[in-house]
Chain A
Amino acid sequence: MKSLRLLALVLCVPTLAFGGGHEFRGVVHSIESAYGVHHLHIPLLGVALFFVRPQGVSGLKLAVFENFETPTDSDDVRRLVESSLGPGWYPFVRVHSKGDPQGETTLIYASPSGGRLRMMIVNVEASEATVVELNLSDRAIKKWIKEPGEEAENQSGHASHRAHD
């Protein structure tokens, strides 16, 4: 019986990974409708995210988009994401690197509430994009407060590597 429950949980986790926060779904749907692309279905993504996640992070949700024409102006992405996020989300960190043919933009929004911090991370580079939502632990929050720029670069690197693995 116990193993049956465990199996049911494991089978449900992929749905949980994409379910939950309506803001996350809002951002994903906005990207889908604005750029005519669908996020990838990655089998057992939820299970993978449950076991492989950065320290101090929980409630990880991830959506990956591939092979589409990403906008050249990073402000387009910013406007799109901000229109999908409700009040209570604050622009926190933005990293933009120029590149050939196209650069990379990482936008991070934060929603502080009580003792927790939710973060929405949107990374866009040539022909692909990643949307990540996560909750940070106290320890992780302190790291972000100390070095927000550095953490943003690390986190966007994690997100794109996870997507490529």
Chain B
Amino acid sequence: MTKTIARKALALVLWLALPALLRAQEIKLPPDVEKLSAKAKETVEVNMDGPMLRWASKFLSSEDPDERKAAKLVANLKGIYVRISEFDKDGAYSADEVEALRSQFRPPVWSRVVGVRSERDGDNVDIFFRLEDEHMTGIVIVAAEAKELTFVNIVGPIEVDQLADLGGEFGIPKLDRKSLSKSVAKVEKGDHK
């Protein structure tokens, strides 16, 4: 009898904890990023989980308007995960490998809002938005240069016009406000791949 009650209690606890467990399993860094990092000469990984972000938001200056905006945004985020991989020679990773990484962020959940390809420098930048019920709930940035690959995963609610404010904080590259707004406008019109 006691065992049955204990089992039922355990099942109830597990059932109640399931959403939290599922959230905990949210992928911070896809396996492809790990695979590419393994080839790098140097990797830098920055992790900022929710409690750290809420705490850090208090330290962004209340005098600097840009930082104040970033603080507001950061306080609501669930996490920021950055992985920078530096390679010792060109061609250390193939375009197909990066494409395999990008292909994980596909519609209907993900929308690619920015895609820059530079044949001269070989620099490629892609920004993907995660949309749920017309609300942005995450951003992934993949920046591939000849000898450097940067992957940024921002998890949590975020407004489009707040996105540029986050550039330059937590190791996230600075984002150009004007071109970002143009790209976002295209997505909102449904003109995206």
Contact = CB atoms under 8 A, between A and B. Distances in A.
A40 interface: no
Interface string A86-106: 000011111111100000000
B169 A146 contact: yes
A141 B59 contact: yes
Interface residues of B, number: 23
Contact of A149 (B40, B44, B55, B169): B44
A110 to B, nearest CB: 6
Interface in A32-80: none
B15 interface: no
Interface in B61-115: 61, 82, 84
B135 interface: no
Interface string A141-165: 1100111111011000000000000
B51 A90 contact: yes
A92 B56 contact: no
A149 B42 contact: no
B84 A112 contact: no
Contact of B169 (A98, A110, A145, A152): A145
Contacts of A92: 46-48, 52
Contacts of B46: 92-93, 148-149
B56 A91 contact: no
A112 B60 contact: no
B171 interface: yes
A82 interface: no
B61 to A, nearest CB: 7
Q: Which among B40, B55, B60, B61 has the greatest number of chain A C-beta atoms within 10 A?
A: B55
Contacts of B55: 112, 117
A148 B61 contact: no
B147 to A, nearest CB: 14
A149 to B, nearest CB: 4
A97 B42 contact: yes
Given A98-B41, A146-B170, A152-B44, 7 more contacts: A90-B49, A90-B52, A95-B44, A96-B42, A112-B55, A142-B59, A145-B56
